[in-house]
Structure 1
Amino acid sequence: MKEQLFIAIREENLSEVERLLKNNPELVSTKDARGSTPLLLATYYGLYDISEIILKYPQNINEQDVSGNTALMGVCFKGFEHIAKLLLQNDANPNITNFNGTTALIFATTFGRKGIAWMLMEKGANTSIKDDRGLTAADHAKMQGIREMAELLEKKKE
């Protein structure tokens, strides 16, 4: 059953995902070989409708994969603003760090996702968190040459 669910997600088979979860709601918390939950996989592929269905079932929205990444982190570096909004509306935590100390905000700034960065800060993203290299989200924005974002992040820290 678990593999069927992950295949249905990869194939974007909405009705099959719905059927499998309705009949086996516990599948929502299973993980594939890379440590991805159904939600992590659906959000990583930018599948909004499937993500919505998966979120109807009780689960840890902040579950981490084998690298410590959450669904929110994945959409921040992929740039799926509409899914970031969905996850934040469902109480995804923007301050969790992966195994490199990276947060969703650091991913958003590193990849120039201004809209997502703004949403994260509105939901309480901590601009002072440093990754394992000792860099904040503002530092990453500076490195990417995104001055406007770096300045905004610096002001938020004060």
Structure 2
Amino acid sequence: MKTRLFLIFCFLFLSIKISSQSGIYEIARHGCIEDLQYVLNNNSDAINYKNSSGFTPLILASYHGNVKVATLLAKHVENINVNSDSGTALMAAVFKNNIEITKMLLDLGADTNISDSNGTTALHYATRLSNEELIKLLVAFGADINLKDDKGFSSWDFALQNNNESILKLLKN
């Protein structure tokens, strides 16, 4: 009897958590496709909400490297390019050096030239992190190497600061 009550309690707790708006953010961070599918079936608008920090579930899934959830979200959100003060889902994936999510977002139409509240673009992050693979990918998808952040620095400037010859060559060509 106690086991049955415990299981019922757990089921109710999980159902409430998943169906609540805050549940979508936990799913984005650490959840699974089944949990996300449940939300999509019951409240599909929840995937487009921003939390109190301005992050969407897609931004959080991209930042936390939750590939399967990020992919499903990216295919269903109203706008893949939603921008928080800290940037877009693409910027979150680049900032975490996540090639797989970055490529998926680009394939689904993520804009490489959107900037965050500091004027920083995904290419700026990739250059600061000296990630040549991400730089190649972003440039191939149209990232503007001449865009400057709010302090007047371009990706070229970041590569110069890092004294990274191979990235300077990439940006030059």
TM-superposed deviation, 1:74:
1.1
Cα distance in 2 for residues equivalent to 1:64 and 1:58: 13
TM-score after normalising by structure 2? 0.84
SS at 1:131 equivalent: coil
Q: Which residue pairs with 2:105 in the alignment?
A: 87
SS at 1:56 equivalent: helix
Assess if the C-alpha contact under 8 Å between 2:30 and 2:66 holds in 1.
no
Q: CA offsets per residue over residues 62-116 of structure 1, 9 Å max, x none?
A: 101133x001111111100110000000100000111111110000000111111
Aligned residues: 154
Cα distance in 2 for residues equivalent to 1:149 and 1:58: 33
Give 1:96's match in structure 2, choosing from 103, 110, 114: 114
Q: Which residue pairs with 2:95 in the alignment?
A: 77
Cα distance in 2 for residues equivalent to 1:47 and 1:8: 9
Assess if the C-alpha contact under 8 Å between 2:120 and 2:150 holds in 1.
yes
1:149 aligns with 2:149: no
Assess if the C-alpha contact under 8 Å between 1:138 and 1:151 holds in 2.
no
Gaps of 5+ in 2: 1-19
Sequence identity (%): 32
User: Which amino acid in the other structure matches residue 57 of structure 2?
Assistant: P
Q: Which residue pairs with 2:48 in the alignment?
A: 29
Gaps of 5+ in 1: none
Q: Which structure has the greater CA radius of gyration?
A: 2
The structure in which a higher percent of residues are helix is 2
TM-score after normalising by structure 1? 0.92
Cα distance in 2 for residues equivalent to 1:153 and 1:31: 34
1:125 aligns with 2:143: yes
